[in-house]
Amino acid sequence: MILGYHEIVSGDSTYLYSLSHERLEAHVHFLTLPVPSACAGTSLLTFDDGCASHYEHAIPILQKYGRGAIFFVTAGWTDVRPKYMTSQQLREIVSMGHEVQSHGWSHKYLTHCSGPELATELERSKKSLEDRLGMAVEAISAPGGAWNSRVSEACARAGYKRFYISDPWFRTRERCGLKISGRMMVRRTLDPAALRHLLEAERKRFSMLRTTFRLKQTVRTLVGDRAYHRLWLWFAEAGEEIKAESYF
């Protein structure tokens, strides 16, 4: 399973997708332990947005346990917004063996972009990061997980080889030369026991977790990305405790 993290904080947070650095370390530590065959497999760790907290909190933990990660950076925020990483920090991360890839130019939902806007989000972010890093940028994660065939085709035309979406049960497949992979977006309430539960569910063809996620995806399709995003923000700000069984 590919895990997707957002902001990593030093204390408590009510925001649903802000994870404490203690909990992140508990996750990474769990993933280094021998596990039952039901959880077998190496989970890929990814981080979205390019938050400065990734450099401050996540990198020391990853280095401590010898785990690599992919950092998907909103290129238009680099060297501009104080709570996001600088070009120098991104180069340091790459020198440590991690990947820095694209999360678009301005974090705009790619499905909401006009043709020229989509080209800007994909191409400008790619070139900007390549200029800063001095190396090829070949992967992108979809802001908000929003994507469709039009977006994936545009990613392929822009020169990306890998595309990551926010669907933990999406089996990696290739379209137009683009490798599309699903991710599970981590919430602050996910403890190691719940993480193990999710990894076990990944091995099953049918599970309540899969069913719940598919129902919510249906709701998103029916109400549209904008309305769904408003609901998502409400729940994220509410920060209610969520059991593993209702994680999605």
Helices (H), the chain: 21-32, 52-53, 59-65, 87-95, 115-119, 125-133, 149-157, 192-202, 208-223, 225-238
For position 59, what pLDDT does the model report? 98
Q: In the predicted model, is pLDDT for residue 144 greater than 50?
A: yes
Q: Check: CB of residue 71 under 8 Å from CB of residue 50.
A: yes
Q: Contact, 25 vs 61, CB < 8 A?
A: yes
Asked if residue 50 has pLDDT above 90, the reply is: yes
Q: Percent of the chain beyond pLDDT 70?
A: 78
Whole-model pTM: value is 0.84
Mean pLDDT for the stretch of residues 19-24: 96
Question: pLDDT higher for 68 or 204?
Answer: 68
Confidence bin at 238 (pLDDT 50/70/90)? low
Please, which residues have CB within 8 angstroms of residue 86's CB and are 6 or more apart in sequence? 78, 79
If you ran DSSP here, which 8-state letter would residue 51 be given?
Answer: B
Residue 92 has pLDDT above 60, yes or no: yes
pLDDT, residue 14, reads 79
pLDDT reported for residue 221: 59
Write out pLDDT tens, residues 215-237. Answer: 666 655 566 666 655 555 555 55
Q: What is the pLDDT of residue 43?
A: 81
The full set of domains in the chain, from first to last, is 2-204 (3.20.20.370)
User: Does 102 score more than 70 pLDDT?
Assistant: yes
DSSP character string of 79-109: TTSTTB--HHHHHHHHHTT-EEEE--SS---
